[in-house]
Amino acid sequence: MHSLSLASIALVSLASTAQGKAAGCDQKPSFAAGNFKDFTTSEGREYRVWLPASYDSSKATPLILSYHGANRVIDEQVALDKLSDPFFNKDHIVVYLQGLEASRPGHTVWEGAPDSTSDDIGFTADVLEAVSKEICVDEKRIYATGKSQGGGFVGRLACDAGLSKRIAAFAPVSGAYYIKEIDVKADCHPESVKVPCDAGRSNIPILAFHGGADATINYNGGFRSGACLPAISSWAKQWAARDHLDQTPANTTITGAQNGVKMSYGGGLVSLVYDGDNIGHAWPSTQPNSDNDGKDLAAFNASTSIMEFFRSHKLD
Ligand SMILES: *[C@@H]1O[C@H](CO)[C@@H](O)[C@H](O)[C@H]1NC(C)=O
Ligand SMILES: *[C@@H]1O[C@H](CO)[C@@H](O)[C@H](O)[C@H]1NC(C)=O
């Protein structure tokens, strides 16, 4: 019984993938284009879907998953990434997921945080399945972005055997790439620590951002909350190695940023943006936001770069 139903599920998803169209195509969604709607999964997990004003249920539409930082909620991530602002995005669905609390009230985190026990890989898969039933999702153009520990979780998605094959490109911002396996400070060597990864395909597109003045998740890595954080440059280099790219990045200076530089491997398949010496634990923006408090504004908008990056990648 079980193997039979699993096989038919696999066939159904193969069929929809082959056409790049989801089961939700040619159906009227339960809410109007240009709006948000809150949902809860059968497991009680919360998420919010935004449909661009141009949404047309006869067209397979790309979708972005967005993950807030630790101790944050969906509202804050909506205000931070601005991906539902037509200035940045007019044509991608955005799905904001809500992390669960761990260890103390208000402390919302994702799988991979030192004190998290939740299954957010499963949650993400459930959300994709549910959204695809109601909305016409382009199954070849699903993307993930997130901030801080949410960015760390985006790194885990890219390293997940299953979801790395469903998500076309990954863009973490100020990512906290905790390695829980190393729980003793003396064993944490940020420059050389190997990031555990079980990616299900090669040529995975990665665009990561990090500030030089990040006092929360240091650019140089280190031991934090009982786990080891890799140096960000080493984390990016390991992605270049997994994608079989030349280990020396091509550097592009970021105009107006304090020593800001984009380090691109393989013509940009993997890129690390060093936001600048003065940029803290913030979503890079030329405008004030809740991360930068109006100080040390970035020379660029990360959301613009993220959209360009997503537009240039899709699954085969
Ligand atoms: C690229 O930029 C990084 C960060 O500033 C630097 O460490 C590296 O040496 C640069 N590489 C080249 C080839 O200039
Ligand atoms: C960054 O985004 C804001 C809108 O949030 C926009 O007004 C500004 O012009 C953008 N900056 C650049 C450099 O594109």
What's the gap in Å between 276 CA and the centre of ligand 1? 13
Position 67: which residue type? Y
Report the range of poorest mean pLDDT among 8-17, 128-137, 254-263.
8-17
Residue 17 has pLDDT above 80, yes or no: no
The atom of ligand 1 lying closest to the CA of 251 is 1
Q: Compute the distance between CA of residue 263 and CA of residue 267 in angstroms, rounded to an integer.
A: 10
Domain 6-311 carries which CATH code?
3.40.50.1820
Q: Please name the residue whose Cα sits nearest to atom 2 of ligand 1.
A: 251
Mean of the pLDDT values across residues 152-160?
98
Q: Whose CA is nearest to atom 11 of ligand 1?
A: 251
Residue 12's pLDDT band, with cuts at 50, 70 and 90, is very low
CA of 274 to the centre of ligand 2 (A): 19
Mean pLDDT over 256-271 rounds to 98
What tens digit of pLDDT does each residue of 49-88 get?
999 999 999 999 999 999 999 999 999 999 999 999 999 9
pTM, two decimal places: 0.94
- To 10 degrees, the CA torsion angle through 67, 72, 73, 77? -50
State yes or no: pLDDT of 2 exceeds 60.
no
Q: Is 176 left (phi over 0), alpha (psi -120 to 50) or beta?
A: beta
Model pLDDT, residue 45: 98
**Contact assessment for residue 140 and residue 20, using Cβ atoms and an 8 Å cutoff:** yes
Q: How many Å lie between the centroid of ligand 1 and the Cα of residue 203?
A: 23
Question: Mapping DSSP to helix (H, G, I), strand (E, B) and coil, where does residue 264 land?
Answer: strand
Beta bridge partners of 207: 271
pLDDT given for residue 22 in this prediction: 73
Q: Do 109 and 70 contact (CB within 8 A), yes or no?
A: yes
The confidence band for 219, taking pLDDT boundaries of 50, 70 and 90, is very high
Which ligand has the nearest atom to the CA of 263?
A: 1
Q: How many residues does the chain have?
A: 316
Cα 281 to ligand 1 centre (Å): 21
Which pLDDT score, from 0 to 100, does residue 121 have?
Answer: 98
If you search the block for the tokens 């030349």, which residue do you land on?
A: 246
136 band by pLDDT with thresholds 50, 70 and 90: very high
Residue 1 above 70 pLDDT? no
Instruction: Give the pLDDT of residue 7.
Output: 43
Pocket test for ligand 1, best of 219, 246, 259, 261 (most atoms within 8 A of CB): 261
Residue 229: φ, ψ to 5°:
-105, 125
Q: Which ligand has an atom closest to residue 234 CA?
A: 1
CB-defined site of ligand 1, < 6 Å: 248-249, 251, 261, 263, 274
Average pLDDT over residues 290-306: 97
3-state helix, strand, coil in the chain (%, to 5): 25, 20, 50
**Rounded to the nearest whole angstrom, what is the distance from the C-alpha of residue 301 to the centroid of ligand 2?**
6
pLDDT > 70: percent of the chain:
93
What's the rounded mean pLDDT across residues 275-290? 98
Give 13's pLDDT tier (boundaries 50, 70, 90): very low
Confidence of residue 3 (pLDDT cuts 50, 70, 90): very low
Q: For residue 137, list its beta bridge partners.
A: 61
Q: Which residues line ligand 2 (CB under 6 A)?
A: 82, 87, 286-287, 300-301, 304
Ligand 2 nearest atom to the CA of residue 285, by list position: 1
Q: What's the pLDDT band for 18 if we cut at 50, 70, 90?
A: very low
Q: Could you report the per-residue pLDDT of 183-218, keeping only the tens digit for each?
A: 999 999 999 999 999 999 999 999 999 999 999 999
Q: What spacing in Å lies between the alpha carbon of 315 and ligand 2's midpoint?
A: 29
Instruction: Please report the pLDDT score of residue 10 as a whole number.
Output: 44
Ligand 1: residue whose CA is nearest its atom 14: 251
Average pLDDT, the chain: 94
d(CA 256, ligand 1 centre) in Å: 17
Radius of gyration of the chain (CA): 19
pLDDT of res. 21: 61
